Amino acid sequence: MGDAPTSREHLLIAFYQDNSRLLEAREKFPQLDISTVKLEFGAPIPSELARKATYIVTLNNLPKVEDAENIKLIHFISAGLDHSLHNPIFKETAIPLTSSSGIHGPPIAEWTVMNWLVASRKYAHAYENQKEHQWRKDVDKHFESIHDQVGKKVGILGYGSIGRQIGRVAHALGMTVHAYTASPRPTPSSRRDTGFIVPGTGDAEGTIPVSWHHGTDKESIHKFLSLGFDHLVIALPLTPQTTRFIGAEEFALLSANALPKHPKPYITNISRGKVLDQDALIASLESGELGGAALDVTDPEPLPADHPLWDAPNVQISPHVSSLGVEYFSRTLDIFKENLGRLQKGENLINEFQRGKGY
């Protein structure tokens, strides 16, 4: 009675920025004691804090192995864990490790569709005209140059949680979706999304694409790019195999196969800058081989002020922010919440890192 120590479990939130956004954890987990610590990017968690913790939510602040005995689960607030794979916690412990894969679909799909529509509907004209207080209703120009997305074809390289939400919205716009993955997905179960899905979004069963394609070799990707796309979305992870995967030859193929009366193909890159041959992209935009590009990622980042990509024709650039937003932390905590329940019931965790496979 009274001041006896509680046996409540303890959640430690360790992050390099102000933690206040994560404090909604208090509302989501009233059964847990919660403390936060602000640590430099990648710095280890001090022993006295780590030893009190039952659970850790972090970007890349990890405990030392000798402090981790009582820790039942470490949840990462990033989708990939590549920044921490070298840490002994990965190799020398069996603590379950979970990622936030799956929460990036909605904001990145919104960023993608926004850029498509800003480009296709020439939003910059309306924006500039409004700044000048000018009502410029050029009916003929609209009839000649504003295309909508109905009946347009999008090829999505990498049909994971992000590609699926893009596919979902594209389908609603009246487009046809064609999926490309590294490994074959011939059966309904192989097409299922088994990771975390933000409720009300995505393509859980993989039923949206009208065709599925696969391969890691040039021949396979070239066959895919010859299908006649209006849009190519690059949502691949960056690996040695995907570095500069899409370059001059691929842009030429896309362009040569563009459908009659359709605008030239539009590239969307929400992966990593190095997946593209950026110089080849600039050349294809300048020659008109491509109709435009939306790039949330560049090579290098930050893109230097004197880089020619800034002024390439019909390119729209943002500074690697497409996944960020108010809802981010709430969703990463939703995954932790789901796994807390599964852990207590002894069920398989969602988004769990497979130590054997390395992802």
CB of 318 to its own copies, least distance (A): 4
355 HSE (CA, 13 A, CB side):
12
Strand 153-157, strand 231-234: pairing = parallel
CB of 14 to its own copies, least distance (A): 17
CB of 27 to its own copies, least distance (A): 11
CB of 330 to its own copies, least distance (A): 9
CA-to-CA distance for 97 and 223, rounded, in angstroms? 38
Which residue's CB is nearer to its own copies, number 12 or number 169? 169
CA-to-CA distance for 64 and 51, rounded, in angstroms? 10
Token representation of residue 199: 């409720």
CB 96 within 8 A of CB 74: yes
Which residue's CB is nearer to its own copies, number 126 or number 256? 126
Which are the contacts of 347, defined by CB distance < 8 A and separation ≥ 6? none
DSSP code string of 44-66: PBPHHHHTT-SEEEESS--B-GG
Which residue's CB is nearer to its own copies, number 96 or number 167? 167
CB of 143 to its own copies, least distance (A): 6
**Which residues of the shown chain bind its own copies in the complex (CB under 8 A)?**
17-18, 21, 106-107, 109-111, 113-114, 117-118, 120-121, 123-124, 126-127, 129-130, 133-137, 139-140, 142-151, 168-169, 171-175, 198-201, 261, 301-303, 305-307, 310-311, 316-321, 324-329
CB of 199 to its own copies, least distance (A): 8
CA-to-CA distance for 229 and 225, rounded, in angstroms? 7
Which residue's CB is nearer to its own copies, number 68 or number 113? 113
Which residue's CB is nearer to its own copies, number 79 or number 109? 109
Which residue's CB is nearer to its own copies, number 52 or number 136? 136
- In the sheet with 33-38, reading across from the earlier edge strand, the strands are 33-38, 10-15, 55-58, 73-76, 97-98
